[in-house]
Structure 1
Amino acid sequence: MLKLGVLVSGRGSNLQALINGIEEGKIDASIELVLSDNPEAFALERCRKHGLEHGVVRRKDFSTKKEFEEELAIKLKEKGVELVVLAGFMRILSGNFLRHFPDRVINIHPSLIPAFQGLHAQRQAVEFGVKFSGCTVHIVDESVDGGPVIVQAVVPLLPEDTEDTLSQRILGYEHRILPQAVQWFAEGRVNIKGRLVEVREARYGTLPVNPELEKF
């Protein structure tokens, strides 16, 4: 069973999607530790409700970013974490952290990267006037939302869309592709070669999700 560490900053809806997938037997993994940089994050209440071990590591309590990241890594390693999932974690991790978990840190981002990286991706999409947006699960590297892509879901923009309405439709797919990506890791099917990520035996070339969802 794959041991997960989850980093959060806010409401934790993607954390809840992982919890649900595990409790429903769709994800062969356990959440060993949830860490937040925000003591007020609602995600921590979700942890309390489901009996998950959790903690707070605040950036302001450390003199340098490196010290902050080292504390995160130490706590995750103490729990034997094998895959780190960023589920709404609002900080950019440096190579100092990533070296502890090479190719084993993943993130969910609400755009079809490399389009609309960084904050307010949904607002960027609406303002730019694109006809399609979506969400991406990717390997985290030292870029901002630019790591190798594991899976993407396409969501059309409607003429009447606002940032909020688009965000809600994208979120529905976030809650499906992130748990699916974690399950692929749990099954040992994710093969990373440079920027190319292949999920072995997955079906490619489908819409709206590529590669095709299997359990979600």
Structure 2
Amino acid sequence: MNAAQAGEFLRALAVANPAPETELLYSDPFTLLVAVVLSAQTTDAAVNKCTPALFEAAPTPAAMAALGEAGIGPYIRRIGLWQGKARNVAALARMLVEQHGGQVPADRAALEALPGVGRKTANVVLNVAFGQDTMAVDTHIFRLGNRTGLAPGKTPRAVEEALVRKCPPELLRDAHHWLILHGRYVCKARMPECWRCPAVAQCNYRDKVLAPPMR
């Protein structure tokens, strides 16, 4: 898929969803950061069931650091890998207090230095909390980039770089949301629902499913 076709693909998604937003519940950069860290290998819906009570108990880095790993754990037991995530959230909260004055930094290197924060998480926080034009590639976007021909790549970083190159600049900030929501609800892993895809005309996937299965 060339840049012009990629632009048409993304504009079709934009028309279908003109105001895309993250589905994670958050109130500020800190609660967003924690929610994204907790969402690794877990659905946003599962995270959203845990975080309201956690954020009520510890709405700031200082409060979260005081809560500690043992205090965080009971709030997030329902999500995958909760022990490691509790440890990371406690540690990143302490680092925010000790090294950043209790504020989430709007800087990639500083974010990626925090426990539990990789490139994808940093990209989400920079995009959603700070309005930066970043492209966070999760499993949905990785699959979609390769399946549709939009941005083929063997690694998430390769797909990210291809998407940034091909995406019209004015669409880049929202493109992450369009793609993740499209991958989550339409271009699904087991069977893409091509019959309701707004960008089906621009998609290069050879095995399109153009009608729902018979029941």
Structure 1 length as normaliser, TM-score? 0.28
Question: Which one has a larger percent strand, Structure 1 or Structure 2?
Answer: 1
Larger radius of gyration: 2
Question: Which one has a larger percent helix, Structure 1 or Structure 2?
Answer: 2
Higher relative contact order (CA closer than 8 Å, sequence separation 6+): 2
